[in-house]
Structure 1
Amino acid sequence: MNADTKKTYAEKDSQYVWHAMKPYQPEGTTLVADSGEGSWFTDTEGNRYLDGVSGLWCLNLGHGQTEIIDAATEQMKSLAYFPLSFGHKPAIELAEKLDSLLGGGYRTFFANGGSDANETAFKIARQHHKQTGNPEKYKIISRYRGYHGNSLGALAATAQANRKMKYDTSLPGFLHIPPPYAYRSSFGSYEEDDQHAADYLEQVIMWEGPETVAAFIMEPVISGGGVIHPQSDVYYRKIRQICDRHNVLLILDEVVSGFGRTGKLFGYMHGDSFYPDIITLAKGLTSGYLPLGATCVNERIYESFKEEGNTNHFRHISTYGGHPASCAVALKAIEIIEREGIVDRVASLGDQILGELRQLSNHKSVGEVRGIGFLYGIELVEDKTTKQPASEEKMKSVIGACQKKGLIIGKNGDTVPDGGNVLIIAPPLTSTEEDLQFLVKTIKDVFARTL
């Protein structure tokens, strides 16, 4: 008998699998999931956990959605694969649906996931300007603490230094600016942080030369960088005006914030007169059931690619982007979101139940609690006056204690200068009221006993 057949899955995992974002641990073991139901999953040891981060922010509709599973199965029975160098019905129907959800006037290029969708957006932005008489517009501005993907272009736009350690991501034309982050304002003003953060974008555009800046990419709500969002829609409104004024394309990365996560269908809908020139989608697009990304482009930008001959066509291709089964899954996931009133439910329960987490603001180890919809961040500190970020040991103690009580939560990772001191809470959008109450109670109990 092969000796490996006697090993547990955890032992085999340690031997064969290379995990994401984990330091080498020669004696470490990893939780191995076996099954899932609703917002919960069970590991190979029989332990049951509430998934408080929706996998990687993507399992928006939870486990066991048989309608989604059936949609994938039926599509694979009729057409298992077909490239989008031609066309197929699920991709056409999904592109039509996305155009409707975005208010009309958008055309979709399908990708494999969020990183791919953002790479596509950068290529489109640069090529568009070359084809509209602005060949020097190539620079992409993004925000510190933002995350836009793991491929080299998307990583160059990602302004989290530790994600880039030991890689050469110094691609030409990628610049970074501070986000609106009142608690740790880069401008020394809590009240006027939104205003100053928006003004800084325009200053950078002017310093670099408007004729050189192609696009500004931002998450409406910074997710993995610490759940950071403006205090009001002033920031959103000014950003749109600045981009219009200087012919800079506004790329909105809604990979995490899209499809109801923030209590609006899309995160940009929290702003007045705020809309994307290009919007990138993934994760919640299929609720994590199959990989899919989408880059939705305003029709006026697409017009610059419409020229007879071979000069202006878009030279990008994705083998699995727009896979028929993935598109069928996305259509079914969107149908469920609309039919079940998921977005309104998130807005309501996010405030009523998850909003109770704000009561932790007075805790001696909490600097700030930030939240919107089913997306919350609790920033831990060593000292409330100095705002010194909490130690890695303190962060691990909270996360570990929650796991022992059957709750999985995350943190913003060792990807920012403070080392990652924000606890991340982002449960599936279909979580029951009892699920959410369990989540809140568990976190409060852990804070009381651990910190």
Structure 2
Amino acid sequence: MTNHNLKIDQLYEKANRHLWQSLSESDENSKTQIAVKGEGAWSIDLDGNRYFEATSVHSCLNLGYGHEELIEAATEQMKHLAYFTPAKLQIPAIELATKLSDILQGNYTTFFSTSGSEANEVALKIARQYHIQSGNPNKYKFISHYNGYHGGTLGVQNVSSTPVFKSDFPGLMTPGFIHVLPPYEYRPPFGNQTESIEQSVANYIEEVIQREQPETIAGIFVEPVLFAGGCIVPSQEYLQLLSKICRKYEILLIVDEVVTGFGKTGKWFGFMHSKGVQPDIVTMAKGMTGAYIPLAATSVREKIYRTFKRKGNQFNHFSTMGPHPVGCAVALKNIEIIERDKLMNKVSKQSDTILSRLHELKSLNIVGDVRGIGFLYGIELVSNKKTKKPLNDERISQITAACEDKGLHFAMDENVIRLNPPLISTENDLHFLVDTLTAVLKDFNL
């Protein structure tokens, strides 16, 4: 055995003994990739194998690996002020909060934290406390979607309902969380109908509100694209309908932009595709810093924040690493680069000219549906196009392995291939993605 192979075996042995790997079965013989380097949209392992990260490594890596400007922004901030207490002020946090309000095109105030899960936990707490402070203490229930994912911590787990990411701890779940089926065009929840699927789901949500009593409903949690739950892409009409319902019943519209924010749909935020929609609360993370530093944010409209400025209404949530000056400096540089390099225009153009070729896969017997917006795409695999029976796990594993052998990494949600490449992906990168996936799926076509 060569020294190189011995070193690799030793690393796997250490990992099996000491490293609890996320999203991994407890198999001591499993040998996943050990990454050592990243270049642009590609990761490189110990053997020098290159992999195109077609899902931006959990939707995080907006500007790719090795971006010198982000590295320099972090380095410079570390030299001046590496950390400071969230109980006082520092300039990067002030500037980033102001910039986010500008991008959101409304008067927003931002609470910083460290992950998408925490950002949504904060949103839950803010919404609940806001209604108490506004004289509506019975508004404690939240409506969200099956197939939705809003985080893995215990509070926000109540809002999430994506089976592969959901843990059920008896006795720890909280009452007051209601799930409804999403506007899933390929698998419509109400069968055939004369009105749009978005209208049907919105009508059902309004019926739920009336049955539960409007004075008990605090908020509606929604993702512009339900990405982790199969890349379900509602039409622009859907958020408009939900916004109208929320205004009618004094319910907060909470839009989770953790995945969809910062350019992935071709706009700063996914909700911006829906004319006239201005969420009460917007949560974000992942692409905000391109994953160079953990940072998340919960931005609320002025009417909400104003109630917290009254005497005795302090928001009692503390995030030690929340408004981290280094994270805020990197986020500001990240936003500057996206604006300067017109990356959202690039996303829209390359979605139309390159990724739209993915729709051709619907001609294959193995592909039931292809759906997407911007750089967010889902490819639903089936064993029977007529019955829409999902492709079996063994076949899906073989497809995933075949793509990995060709240097393509992507995410799977049950029978849906999820794609979300970095904003800086080159045309050649995107052609590689489409060509590789097309070739493999043709090989496995039923």
Same fold per superposition (TM over 0.5):
yes
Letter in 1 for 2:83: Y
Secondary structure of the 1:205 match is helix
Secondary structure of the 1:268 match is helix
Cα distance in 2, alignment partners of residues 200 and 257 from structure 1: 25
**How far off is 1:183 after superposition?**
0.7
Letter in 2 for 1:35: K
- From 431, 447, 450, the equivalent of 2:444 is 450
Residue 167 of structure 2 corresponds to residue 202 of structure 1: no
Equivalent positions of 1:275-294 (< 5 A) are 275-294=278-297
Residue 328 of structure 2 corresponds to residue 324 of structure 1: no
- Structure 2 residue aligned with 1:365: 366
**How far off is 1:6 after superposition?**
8.1
Compute the TM-score of the two structures, normalised by the length of structure 1. Answer: 0.95
Cα distance in 1, alignment partners of residues 345 and 315 from structure 2: 38
- Structure 2 residue aligned with 1:223: 227
- Cα deviation code 1:240-282 (max 9, x no counterpart): 1000000000000000000000111100011121121000010
- Structure 2 residue aligned with 1:405: 406
2:281–2:301 CA contact under 8 A, matched in 1: yes
1:368–1:379 CA contact under 8 A, matched in 2: yes
Cα distance in 2, alignment partners of residues 439 and 162 from structure 1: 25
2:364–2:442 CA contact under 8 A, matched in 1: no
Cα distance in 1, alignment partners of residues 356 and 397 from structure 2: 23
Secondary structure of the 1:369 match is strand
Equivalent positions of 1:419-438 (< 5 A) are 420-438=414-432
Secondary structure of the 1:381 match is strand
Secondary structure of the 2:58 match is helix
Residue 144 of structure 2 corresponds to residue 142 of structure 1: yes
2:154–2:173 CA contact under 8 A, matched in 1: no
- Cα deviation code 1:107-127 (max 9, x no counterpart): 000011100000000000000
Q: Per the alignment, do residues 38 and 299 of structure 1 end up closer, same or farther by CA in structure 2, a change over 3 Å counting?
A: same
Cα distance in 2, alignment partners of residues 170 and 319 from structure 1: 26
- Structure 2 residue aligned with 1:33: 35
1:58–1:284 CA contact under 8 A, matched in 2: yes
**How far off is 1:24 after superposition?**
1.2
Equivalent positions of 1:81-120 (< 5 A) are 81-120=83-122
**How far off is 1:22 after superposition?**
1.4
- Percent of aligned pairs with the same residue? 49
2:403–2:409 CA contact under 8 A, matched in 1: yes
Secondary structure of the 1:130 match is helix
Q: Per the alignment, do residues 283 and 165 of structure 1 end up closer, same or farther by CA in structure 2, a change over 3 Å counting?
A: closer
- Cα deviation code 1:115-173 (max 9, x no counterpart): 00000000000000001110100111111100000101111100123433442352121
Residue segments in structure 1 that go unaligned for 5+ positions in a row: 413-419
- Structure 1 residue aligned with 2:435: 441
Q: What is the CA RMSD across the aligned residues, in angstroms? A: 1.3
Secondary structure of the 1:20 match is coil
Letter in 2 for 1:335: E
**How far off is 1:187 after superposition?**
0.8
Cα distance in 2, alignment partners of residues 189 and 286 from structure 1: 43
Cα distance in 2, alignment partners of residues 303 and 95 from structure 1: 16
Q: Structure 1 residue runs of 4+, over 6 Å off?
A: none
- Structure 2 residue aligned with 1:306: 309
**How far off is 1:198 after superposition?**
1.0
- Structure 1 residue aligned with 2:378: 377
Cα distance in 1, alignment partners of residues 307 and 373 from structure 2: 37
Cα distance in 2, alignment partners of residues 15 and 161 from structure 1: 28
**How far off is 1:377 after superposition?**
0.5
Cα distance in 1, alignment partners of residues 359 and 324 from structure 2: 41
**How far off is 1:5 after superposition?**
6.9
Cα distance in 1, alignment partners of residues 14 and 177 from structure 2: 41
**How far off is 1:401 after superposition?**
0.6
- Cα deviation code 1:384-404 (max 9, x no counterpart): 000111111121111111100
- Structure 1 residue aligned with 2:19: 17
- From 41, 45, 48, the equivalent of 1:46 is 48
- Structure 2 residue aligned with 1:245: 248
Residue 276 of structure 2 corresponds to residue 273 of structure 1: yes
Q: Per the alignment, do residues 162 and 259 of structure 1 end up closer, same or farther by CA in structure 2, a change over 3 Å counting?
A: closer
Secondary structure of the 2:111 match is strand
Secondary structure of the 2:258 match is coil
Secondary structure of the 2:186 match is helix
2:143–2:180 CA contact under 8 A, matched in 1: yes
Cα distance in 1, alignment partners of residues 347 and 165 from structure 2: 31
Secondary structure of the 1:117 match is helix
1:9–1:44 CA contact under 8 A, matched in 2: no
Residue 167 of structure 2 corresponds to residue 173 of structure 1: no
